[in-house]
Amino acid sequence: MLIAIIAETTIDDLAATTHQYQNDAEAFEWRLDFLSNIQMPSLKKIRANLTKPLILTLRPKAQGGYYSGSESERWACLTKLAELHPDYIDFESSIDRSLIAKFHKKHPSIRIILSYHNYSETPEDLDGLLLSMKHPDVSVYKIIGTAQSSLDNLRVLHFVKNNANKCNLVAHCMGELGLPSRVLGGVVGSCFCYAKTNSIHEQSALDPAVKPRDDIGSKLIISCCPSLETLRDIYRIKQINANTKIFALLGDPVEHSIGHVFHNKNFDALGVNAVYVKFKVSKNELSLFFKYIQDLPFQGFSVTMPLKEAVIPYMQFIDPDCKSIGAINTIRIEDGQCYATNTDGAGALDAIEKIQTIANSKILLLGAGGAAKAIAYEAMKRKALSLTIVNRTLERAEAIAQHIPCTVYDFEAFQSQPTTTYDLLINTIPNTYDNDLLVLQLTQLLLTPTSCFMNIDYSEKQLALIAEIKQLGFKLIDAQDMYANQARHQISYWLPHF
Q: Of 463 and 41, which is predicted with more confidence?
A: 41
Are 99 and 117 within one domain? yes
Are 360 and 392 within one domain? yes
CA–CA dist 404, 1 (Å, integer): 53
- Of 210, 239, 268, the last residue of a domain is 239
- Of 239, 258, 285, the last residue of a domain is 239
Residue 252 lies inside a defined structural domain of this protein: yes
Nearest to 369 by CA among 451, 284, 426, 444: 426
Interval 127-146: pLDDT, tens: 999 999 999 999 999 999 99
Sort strands 298-303 and 330-334 into parallel, antiparallel or unpaired.
antiparallel
193: phi then psi, degrees, rounded to nearest 5? -130, 120
* 129 Cβ contact list (under 8 Å, min separation 6): 116, 123, 143
Is pLDDT above 70 for 200? no
At 324 the pLDDT is: 81
CATH number of the structural domain spanning residue 430: 3.40.50.720
Average pLDDT over residues 200-224: 47
Q: Of 462 and 69, which is predicted with more confidence?
A: 69
Return the SS3 of 263.
helix
80 is catalytic: no
Nearest to 255 by CA among 147, 177, 184: 177
Are 253 and 148 within one domain? no
Residue 75 lies inside a defined structural domain of this protein: yes
Nearest to 452 by CA among 350, 362, 360, 344: 362
Interval 142-188: pLDDT, tens: 999 999 999 999 999 999 999 999 999 999 999 999 999 999 999 99
Average pLDDT over residues 366-386: 94
pLDDT bin (cut points 50, 70, 90) of residue 209 is very low
Classify residue 238 by burial, with Cβ atoms within 10 Å: 0-12, 13-18, 19+.
Answer: middle
Average pLDDT over residues 476-497: 92
What is the CA angle 211-78-127, rounded to 5? 90
Domain range for 55 is: 2-239
Is pLDDT above 50 for 342? yes
The size of the chain, in residues, is 498
pTM to 2 decimals? 0.88
Interval 259-273: pLDDT, tens: 999 999 999 999 999
Residue 150 lies inside a defined structural domain of this protein: yes
**Single-letter amino acid code for the residue at 430:** P
Classify residue 105 by burial, with Cβ atoms within 10 Å: 0-12, 13-18, 19+.
Answer: exposed
Q: Of 304 and 457, which is predicted with more confidence?
A: 304
Q: How many CB atoms lie within 10 A of CB 40?
A: 13
Strand pairing partners for 276? 247
**Single-letter amino acid code for the residue at 324:** S
Return the SS3 of 449.
strand
At 211 the pLDDT is: 40
CA–CA dist 356, 313 (Å, integer): 36
- Of 214, 239, 264, the last residue of a domain is 239
Average pLDDT over residues 379-401: 95
Please check whether residue 342 is in contact with residue 322, taking contact to mean a CB–CB distance below 8 angstroms. yes
Are 232 and 249 within one domain? no
CA–CA dist 48, 44 (Å, integer): 6
Nearest to 78 by CA among 94, 57, 97: 57
Is pLDDT above 90 for 208? no
Q: Is the dihedral of CA 405, 411, 413, 418 positive or negative?
A: positive
Residue 326 lies inside a defined structural domain of this protein: yes
Interval 17-64: pLDDT, tens: 999 999 999 999 999 999 999 999 999 999 999 999 999 999 999 888
Are 249 and 235 within one domain? no
Sort strands 2-6 and 27-31 into parallel, antiparallel or unpaired.
parallel
Number of domains in the chain: 3
At 326 the pLDDT is: 86
Q: How many CB atoms lie within 10 A of CB 284?
A: 8
At 222 the pLDDT is: 53
pLDDT bin (cut points 50, 70, 90) of residue 470 is confident
Sheet holding 475-477, edge to edge: 407-409, 386-390, 362-366, 422-427, 447-455, 475-477
Is pLDDT above 90 for 6? yes
Portion of the chain with pLDDT greater than 90, in percent:
82
* Cα of 260 vs its chain's centroid, Å: 7
Q: What is the mean pLDDT of the chain?
A: 92
Average pLDDT over residues 277-287: 98
Average pLDDT over residues 417-435: 92
Residue 137 lies inside a defined structural domain of this protein: yes
Catalytic residue among 196, 245, 280, 308: 308
* 192 Cβ contact list (under 8 Å, min separation 6): 1, 3, 27, 140, 142, 170
